[in-house]
Structure 1
């Protein structure tokens, strides 16, 4: 499995942005299945090439799977599920940590047309019951800890017919996954099993404002759509070893662990990382020769507090980030510490593949969302779907007429009202606010509900947060609007300080003056609260709604 990995001098996959956009065309067959059409082909072409490297929580190697071995494992899982009675279209609730069995489960289900419903192991029993019930899942696949939670609510789930455990079966009603696979054959599953528009995956949204909705992705749209994620933004090619730090329950796992990477011929690294340890992460990158790396902004903020120069990152050639925009100061420190590696921000949602990005062939504008990915027409529009002038804030929207782009979700499953609300005329409204500059770069302002109105000014929280993070005393910051009778709202910041830094009135004033100098004076936070942590979704996004509720609670106390 020896392979030559691309170096930092490798030319980007996309060398002329405008020419690539002009020439790009989606090609969608009538029938498509990612496992049988992409992975099986790779197994025939390069059977002994590394596809998946799985590490334990301490960084030691758990297993290495070639394309041939990965395909055979997915066949056995497909036969095992079919043997239990799982059929095409049946939903499977999959709640596993970052282990090899997650891949086998996902690929085995997808290849026979069953529909995985991925979930983070952080869910409570109540969360699990809601998701299994709403999705109508007939089977659950989890580990021992997850099995305990499932059994607590199984009496409320009449459709749940099959329980599969990774590890020892906790009770007679559970099947051991290893035993199922041992009894299964590795012959091909029935060919031509799925149509292009068959349901492939259901992801639950974060549910920060209302109950989580189910995002429906189809076989071809998602399986093929993520090839632009991997080709253009992640810039992957054969020989790369790619590591996306993501919980298996997030849609970001599909962005960086399942589809586009293997379509591009790259290998995937997975690590059963529990609590993020910056030095262990960087040591893993160095020891295994990771060439492309993706992490959420919260983790990059942690990584840049370490001694980057003490780790050999010479084989790392390309870095990306997504989830929320990455602050320019963090990008600068990372570039200095890695001897020239820029972090390329990308943007998308659980509902999409990558739709905006900073690309290697274009100048990176630190803090921007980048430009539209080939295959997507993205604009900043008003409430009626009319594009607004450059420099003016509006809604980030994706054009869906006259041609719906590949990679966009089919809708919110079993929720026609929510689906209809997301589409206006020719556009899908993402719910995010941004502005577009004269050169076509997008700049994030915040979620639609996060934009602050203060004394007739509209203030995006991200710019204020970025200014705060530039101060050497600040590790992380979140900014929200607090109701105010005179100004409508006032800018209010929640700040995590570096260890050993004292939270004093003098520091508050210093941070306020720093923001005034860094951004427009009217944007400075009139209140700053020093906190030990920030409330976040399971995907790592700050729950600004929780912070606003906290402020309202204080006002009413």
Structure 2
């Protein structure tokens, strides 16, 4: 496959492995890779002691590809919207990632178990570093590109990372705090330019050999650490093992992604999110599918829609914000080339947005639910009936229940905390621990369950509905009100672009519902008193009348985490005078 020239990846021109034409392309199901794990899935064989995703999955696909048993579909396809693109086969991915693994081990001196922070946008190097870390047994710590110097300092100090890889844009922020990070030994910069104190990633890769031997890793060895969003308190280091992210999709089949070796998935999430690791690395490549990436320096709805019209993308994955943004446009003029399946996660999708997307595109949005700690634990998979407001059923490998404060399982229809059975056997897809924080790790366990901190319900058919974070629940005059339902009702009103709902003190009711609302420009000059009444009446008609916001405040923006989640705790603390 042709490797197209990139300024930051000039070395790719000269580093292609020997060309091996594929002879014939019989349809290959992912079961060809999964077959050796079928007995494990059926409980007839124990989970293996050793596992490495790079050698046991990616290299296997490379062998299948070289044997001519995989369709002529790239493993990785990247564009930047300016005419530049990169395509890699699995063989090329292996070839290049071995070079990067040599850079990390030979040039940077990193060893198995060392920690590396990578802060890169959606550029091909991010994927090479991911696979290289698997090969070398280095623990990867991804971070979003919007991290401030303060955020970077916290992550470097908390993780004791010995190496960081980033761009020339972020390098000055790293330099401003590096003197306070005693464990940081090596700084690598992805750039065509040089910078004092930094190694040039591109130049080092250019001169490396590609004969790296993959290290032997145990299935419980640490592989990746995510920092949680930090909606309440400082972000925690959530550690996943080789098995929890890499081995899990081998056992769980296509429960949330309907992909084959001829398929192509585009996930628009930021590289610092667990959703990108799950939907742009581990799960698609288990099935030999193509991971499609657009650089997307900014979320531009026209660019996204035109990309869907121009490339054979089967599956689109994104946060609800993506779909809320897209339905604001007239979609009738866009003809998607191949889109069949849409998935949303991170937060619930408003039913109104789901209905608009379906009516204009003919494609359903399938919701998934999970956490940084668990990966995906509920999903609306293909062929399943879609119930608006529901995040589907429990995913394979998980026993999901609604429990009370004493870990008793609650009957269908009753509100409680969403929990996953973790005893006597801890689910494979779970995080190992909060690093250096055993107290917080222990607090996630209640009886035989891992408790998510989210409230929800389950209906008679086994569908789960998200109500809100445990701390976000509003108790007004004895009624329990989840903020998401009120927010969903508000966003259906044409005046509302975005809304956040929290509790506010009230002398009579204890607390009441307050809505913070961002208005559409068309309504910015409205009579706010009259508009407030209109919004309140709208909510009363859309949902139970007692849930309407008795207080409404119009704002220009809402406080959010670096991953885009609304910081309701900040709004709540402001209301209660705790700031």
Q: TM-score, normalised by structure 2?
A: 0.89
Alpha-carbon distance in 2 for matches of 1:240, 1:394: 39
Deviation of 1:497 (Å) = 2.4
Looking at both structures, which has the greater relative contact order when contacts are Cα pairs under 8 Å and sequence separation is at least 6?
Answer: 1
Query: Per the alignment, do residues 32 and 250 of structure 1 end up closer, same or farther by CA in structure 2, a change over 3 Å counting?
Result: same
Alpha-carbon distance in 2 for matches of 1:337, 1:532: 29
Deviation of 1:99 (Å) = 0.3
1:434-479: per-residue Cα shift (whole Å, max 9, x none)?
Answer: 0111211111110010000000101011111111112222222211
Deviation of 1:229 (Å) = 7.6
Match of 1:68 among 81, 91, 94: 91
Match of 1:232, SS state, is: coil
Match of 1:304 among 319, 327, 330: 327
Is residue 258 of structure 1 aligned with residue 277 of structure 2?
Answer: no
Deviation of 1:150 (Å) = 0.7
Is residue 367 of structure 1 aligned with residue 389 of structure 2?
Answer: yes
Match of 1:231, SS state, is: coil
1:424 matched residue in structure 2: 446
Match of 2:132 among 105, 108, 123: 108
The root-mean-square deviation of aligned C-alpha atoms, in Å, is: 2.3
Q: Is the CA contact (8 Å cut-off) linking 1:24 and 1:374 kept in structure 2?
A: no
Is residue 240 of structure 1 aligned with residue 263 of structure 2?
Answer: yes
Match of 1:136 among 160, 174, 180: 160
Match of 1:505 among 502, 519, 529: 529
Match of 1:171, SS state, is: coil
Is residue 353 of structure 1 aligned with residue 372 of structure 2?
Answer: no
Is residue 343 of structure 1 aligned with residue 365 of structure 2?
Answer: yes
Match of 1:457 among 461, 479, 484: 479
Alpha-carbon distance in 1 for matches of 2:350, 2:250: 27
Q: Is the CA contact (8 Å cut-off) linking 1:230 and 1:236 kept in structure 2?
A: no
Query: Per the alignment, do residues 229 and 549 of structure 1 end up closer, same or farther by CA in structure 2, a change over 3 Å counting?
Result: farther
1:328 matched residue in structure 2: 351
Query: Per the alignment, do residues 334 and 470 of structure 1 end up closer, same or farther by CA in structure 2, a change over 3 Å counting?
Result: same
Alpha-carbon distance in 2 for matches of 1:12, 1:272: 28
2:227 matched residue in structure 1: 204
Q: Is the CA contact (8 Å cut-off) linking 1:204 and 1:214 kept in structure 2?
A: yes
Alpha-carbon distance in 2 for matches of 1:104, 1:153: 26
Alpha-carbon distance in 2 for matches of 1:226, 1:428: 20
Alpha-carbon distance in 2 for matches of 1:261, 1:49: 13
Match of 2:559 among 529, 532, 535: 535
2:61 matched residue in structure 1: 42
Deviation of 1:207 (Å) = 1.2
Match of 1:221 among 204, 219, 244: 244
Alpha-carbon distance in 2 for matches of 1:469, 1:230: 36
Deviation of 1:390 (Å) = 1.3
Is residue 195 of structure 1 aligned with residue 218 of structure 2?
Answer: yes
Alpha-carbon distance in 2 for matches of 1:37, 1:229: 16
Q: Is the CA contact (8 Å cut-off) linking 1:169 and 1:175 kept in structure 2?
A: no
Q: Is the CA contact (8 Å cut-off) linking 1:228 and 1:354 kept in structure 2?
A: no
Match of 1:81 among 99, 104, 122: 104
Is residue 391 of structure 1 aligned with residue 410 of structure 2?
Answer: no
Q: How does 1:273-312 map to 2 (within 5 A)?
A: 273-312=296-335
Which deviates more from structure 2 when the two are superposed, residues 463-472 or residues 99-108? 463-472
Query: Per the alignment, do residues 507 and 228 of structure 1 end up closer, same or farther by CA in structure 2, a change over 3 Å counting?
Result: farther
Match of 1:254, SS state, is: helix
Alpha-carbon distance in 1 for matches of 2:60, 2:206: 24
Deviation of 1:168 (Å) = 3.8
1:523 matched residue in structure 2: 547
Alpha-carbon distance in 1 for matches of 2:394, 2:202: 44
Alpha-carbon distance in 2 for matches of 1:530, 1:380: 35
Q: Is the CA contact (8 Å cut-off) linking 2:327 and 2:357 kept in structure 1?
A: yes
Deviation of 1:549 (Å) = 2.7
2:203 matched residue in structure 1: 179
1:16 matched residue in structure 2: none
Match of 2:405, SS state, is: coil
Which deviates more from structure 2 when the two are superposed, residues 378-387 or residues 489-498? 489-498
Q: Is the CA contact (8 Å cut-off) linking 1:24 and 1:375 kept in structure 2?
A: no
1:264-308: per-residue Cα shift (whole Å, max 9, x none)?
Answer: 111011121122111110111111121100110111111000111
1:17 matched residue in structure 2: none
Match of 1:513, SS state, is: helix
Query: Per the alignment, do residues 291 and 274 of structure 1 end up closer, same or farther by CA in structure 2, a change over 3 Å counting?
Result: same
Deviation of 1:380 (Å) = 0.5
Match of 1:164, SS state, is: strand
Q: Is the CA contact (8 Å cut-off) linking 2:101 and 2:212 kept in structure 1?
A: no
Q: TM-score, normalised by structure 1?
A: 0.93
Query: Unaligned regions of 5+ residues in structure 2, if any?
Result: 3-21, 32-37, 67-71
Alpha-carbon distance in 1 for matches of 2:151, 2:337: 43
1:72-113: per-residue Cα shift (whole Å, max 9, x none)?
Answer: 111111111110210000000110111001111111012110
Match of 1:440, SS state, is: coil
Deviation of 1:227 (Å) = 4.9
Deviation of 1:314 (Å) = 4.5
